[in-house]
Chains A and B, each alone.
Chain A
Amino acid sequence: MTFQAFRFDPIELPPAAQALRKEVRAFLQDNAASLGNRRDYDQAFSRRMAERGWIGMTWPKQYGGSERTAFERYVLIEELLAAGAPVGFHWTADRQSGPNILRYGTDEQKDWFLPRITRGELSFCIGMSEPDSGSDLAGTRTRAVKVDGGFRINGSKLWTSNAHRADYMILFCKMAEAGQDEVDRHAGATQFLVDLKNSPGIEIRPVINLLGEHHFNQIFLTDLFVPDNRLFGEIGNGWRQVSSELAFERRPDRFLVLFKLLVEMVRVAGPNPDRATAAALGKLVAQLATLRRMSLSIAGMLQEGLQPLTEAAVTKDLGTRYEQDLPIVARQLFPAEPELEAVDTYVSMLARGTMNAPRLSIQGGTREILRGIIARGLGLR
């Protein structure tokens, strides 16, 4: 019996995608000043992308999309990430919030949100994790109660990247009457589209990360009122919806976070490295080339309308391992005392790589959760 749980079919990029690559590179060249900075959130940059139809590019034209293929989106994303483009403003909306609104939103919601996202006007953040509910999303404690004309919500969200800047959050919570059902832990799960900038009852406090940066936040929701027309999907259908959202989130586009460190390693190695150095770099390049190929196969499956959950988990798990190896190998090959603000790009990238490494196998599904998904794909659970 041949093992068939995972599928990584060979894919050849269609000519339209390779043509787009040239366009994207020209665009990035024109915007060189915006690239490679630690500032990742830049609405002006996102608007320039929007002018070209590069936000929500696979969505229907009816909602401001360009109806491009998954392959074209794949090429756009990898070019942006490899260049260190500041994609933070539109990233979450483009990757998961928009696609999920397209799938579960009402006509009014699609009409209102999607064109604004594609114009680079609306940014989103993810309202999933809580103080007592990280990987175990079903343990969410935030509760919604039906009231006249809408819902009243109380609770707290944590690790919410960019909540202090985003316009909207897709909130995951439960209906209050659901209680703590030990039999069906997914019962009563419900999502809402929360206007973060114009709603009383929302307090956002910064959580500074170990690099000293403000990305994370804790959000306190106190008698937050959400009108009926911002209920997202159906009451009680939240678990299915959030699983779909996570599937979008886990598309493995994350092995290029530290690509610039690899580039700098090649630069430091020079044109004629010794054999051991060449081999160590070669092993990293071989991993990266293989990850790209696997990622491209996944784009192929998305284009066919499939949901490659296990394949995405496999690729993300391998991708984070590869990225976490980058600073480890770098230190062995080219020792330096890393410093974030160093003038030498290699030295500063080594610091960024070292300090960012831990988050890579936590965000978007921890290594342990991903491996659980893979084990399920193997039929072990």
Chain B
Amino acid sequence: MRDETRMLLESMGRLFEDHCTKQVADAAETGVFPDALWHAVSETGVPLAALPESAGGADAEWSDLFAVLRVAGRFAAPIPLAETMLAAWVASAAGLEVSEGPMTVGPVRADDRLTLERDGNGWRLSGRASRLPWAAQAGQVVLITDGPDGEMVVMFGDGVEGAVPSPGRNMAGEPRDTYRFDGLGLAGNVVAPVGPGVNRAALYRRGALARAVMMAGAMERALDTAVAYAGERKQFGRQIGKFQAVQQQLAVMAGQVAAAGAAADAGVEALSLDDPAMQEFLVAIAKTRVGDAATLASEIAHQVHGAIGFTKEYSLQLSTRRLWSWRDEFGGEMEWAAKVGGFVCARGADALWPTLTDG
């Protein structure tokens, strides 16, 4: 890891630790946007850092941004940080001007369709974008749509008439809001063709990878919490972590957490590949493996904690409810695993080993 990256992660870790308190997390679930947290994160420049300097960014490496997302996942930061990074990437590449503030991006579900039709000098938007993260609280919404001549980016801000999402939440209480458009009128200056390297599939991949990375972080936190608890909680006259049955469970969990971290790293590295099919294969492996790990890791973290882990008061649920939610966002394990399997089967049995090794 580069020194700059290490310093960035240390300072972001401190920032999240200071701001992501239990109170902030609880309040966010009741609909109070954590302005202080967002402001602090925004001041670091991280949300827009991937943009070119000319567009207000810092030409940052995506690998660094994903590393920050892992830290954000570790602290269960209740803000649309990944979404803002991705929205800014999509909008900026299309030449649309991005302003500061929380953003969201979509579609985030493979079966959603958005279509754009010409209407004089403007456009009309129809279709559905379901379960957009923080849509109601995002200052700007960036959507990739099917236009008459290919994919088009649409960006609209607060107070666009006819654009009011219906609210929803994931199991962690994070807003997941659904837009339905029926010929929503948009001015010409908020619509542009997708930029180079950007398309719906690429957005979906990066979204899935963001969730994988955030899950890796959340699992690290759950493991820390479970190991610490096993060292404190006493039953039958000794710490429960001294019982072999508990040690073996935590060892299994640690293995899953380690595998998740390694799989997420591999997915992030894949972003630098030129071949989109290989990129998709490696991101699919990451989302599949991390999602599988999340299931087992959450189960064991709760088992080790006993009843206290099942309470709202105790912090473990901030991690585990996110793990249960994030594993299904931007496609669950079955969807991504089918891509992995489909990819290797299409290449044939004798190509399996070269596919795995010739990266």
Residues of A within 8 A of B (CB): 1-3, 5-6, 8-10, 21, 78, 82, 259, 262-264, 266-267, 269-273, 275-283, 285-294, 297, 311, 314, 317-318, 368, 370-372, 374-375, 377-381
B262 contacts A271, C-beta separation under 8 Å: no
B327 at the interface (CB under 8 A from A): no
**Within the assembled complex, what's the spacing in Å between the Cα atoms of A375 and B345?**
38
Q: Which residues of A contact B247 (CB under 8 A)?
A: 371-372, 375, 378, 380-381
Residue of A nearest to B9 (CB): A2
**Within the assembled complex, what's the spacing in Å between the Cα atoms of A279 and B338?**
4
A277 contacts B242, C-beta separation under 8 Å: no
A378 contacts B266, C-beta separation under 8 Å: no
**Within the assembled complex, what's the spacing in Å between the Cα atoms of A357 and B333?**
26
- Sample of 17 A–B contacts (CB below 8 Å): A3-B257, A21-B357, A266-B344, A266-B349, A269-B341, A272-B346, A279-B334, A286-B285, A286-B292, A289-B289, A290-B262, A293-B265, A294-B259, A297-B262, A371-B248, A379-B227, A380-B230
Given A271-B346, A375-B251, A289:B341 Cβ within 8 A:
no
Q: Which of B241, B282, B335 contacts A380 (CB 8 A)?
A: B241
**Within the assembled complex, what's the spacing in Å between the Cα atoms of A381 and B258?**
19
Nearest Cβ in chain A — how far from B359, in angstroms?
Answer: 9
Which B1-56 residues have a C-beta within 8 angstroms of A?
1, 13
**Within the assembled complex, what's the spacing in Å between the Cα atoms of A292 and B244?**
29
Residues 86-97 of B, flagged 1 when their CB comes within 8 A of A and 0 if not, give 000000000000
B220 at the interface (CB under 8 A from A): yes
A282 contacts B251, C-beta separation under 8 Å: no
10 nearest CB pairs, A to B: A282-B340, A278-B341, A282-B341, A282-B337, A267-B349, A375-B247, A371-B251, A374-B251, A281-B341, A279-B337
Residue of B nearest to A270 (CB): B345
Q: Which residues of B contact A372 (CB under 8 A)?
A: 244, 247-248, 251
Which B193-236 residues have a C-beta within 8 angstroms of A?
220, 223-224, 227, 230-231
**Within the assembled complex, what's the spacing in Å between the Cα atoms of A293 and B346?**
23
B289 contacts A292, C-beta separation under 8 Å: no
Residue of A nearest to B286 (CB): A286
B277 at the interface (CB under 8 A from A): no
Q: Which of A2, A263, A311 contacts B352 (CB 8 A)?
A: A263
Q: Which of A276, A288, A374, A380 contacts B255 (CB 8 A)?
A: A374
**Within the assembled complex, what's the spacing in Å between the Cα atoms of A281 and B345?**
9
With A78-B357, A281-B340, A314-B258 given, name 4 new contacts (CB 8 A): A3-B220, A3-B227, A270-B345, A285-B344
Q: How many residues of B contact A (CB 8 A)?
A: 56
Q: Which residues of B contact A283 (CB under 8 A)?
A: 288, 292, 333, 337, 340-341
**Within the assembled complex, what's the spacing in Å between the Cα atoms of A381 and B74?**
25
B289 contacts A282, C-beta separation under 8 Å: no
A282 contacts B288, C-beta separation under 8 Å: yes
Nearest Cβ in chain B — how far from A171, in angstroms?
Answer: 30
Nearest Cβ in chain B — how far from A9, in angstroms?
Answer: 8
Residues of B within 8 A of A (CB): 1, 13, 74, 220, 223-224, 227, 230-231, 241-242, 244, 246-248, 250-252, 254-255, 257-259, 261-263, 265-266, 269, 282, 284-285, 288-289, 292, 333-346, 348-350, 352-353, 356-357
Q: Which of A277, A286, A317, A371 contacts B288 (CB 8 A)?
A: A286
Decide if the interface of chain B is mainly helix, strand, loop or mixed: helix
Nearest Cβ in chain B — how far from A106, in angstroms?
Answer: 38
Nearest Cβ in chain A — how far from B245, in angstroms?
Answer: 11
**Within the assembled complex, what's the spacing in Å between the Cα atoms of A287 and B291?**
11
Q: Which residues of A contact B337 (CB under 8 A)?
A: 278-280, 282-283, 286
Q: Which residues of A contact B336 (CB under 8 A)?
A: 282
A6 contacts B258, C-beta separation under 8 Å: yes
Nearest Cβ in chain B — how far from A296, in angstroms?
Answer: 9
A6 contacts B338, C-beta separation under 8 Å: no
Q: Which of B74, B241, B357 contacts A2 (CB 8 A)?
A: B74
Nearest Cβ in chain B — how far from A62, in angstroms?
Answer: 32
B251 contacts A317, C-beta separation under 8 Å: yes
Nearest Cβ in chain A — how far from B100, in angstroms?
Answer: 29
B348 contacts A266, C-beta separation under 8 Å: yes
Q: Which residues of B contact A5 (CB under 8 A)?
A: 254
A318 contacts B251, C-beta separation under 8 Å: no
Q: Which of B241, B248, B255 contacts A368 (CB 8 A)?
A: B248
Q: Which residues of B contact A267 (CB under 8 A)?
A: 348-349
Q: Which residues of B contact A2 (CB under 8 A)?
A: 13, 74, 220, 224
Most B-side CB within 10 Å, residue of A280, A292, A311, A375: A375
Q: Which residues of A contact B341 (CB under 8 A)?
A: 269, 273, 277-283, 285
A318 contacts B342, C-beta separation under 8 Å: no
Residue of B nearest to A288 (CB): B356
Q: Which residues of B contact A297 (CB under 8 A)?
A: 262
**Within the assembled complex, what's the spacing in Å between the Cα atoms of A291 and B74?**
23
**Within the assembled complex, what's the spacing in Å between the Cα atoms of A311 and B254?**
10
Residue of B nearest to A259 (CB): B353
Nearest Cβ in chain A — how far from B247, in angstroms?
Answer: 4
A278 contacts B251, C-beta separation under 8 Å: no
Residue of B nearest to A268 (CB): B349
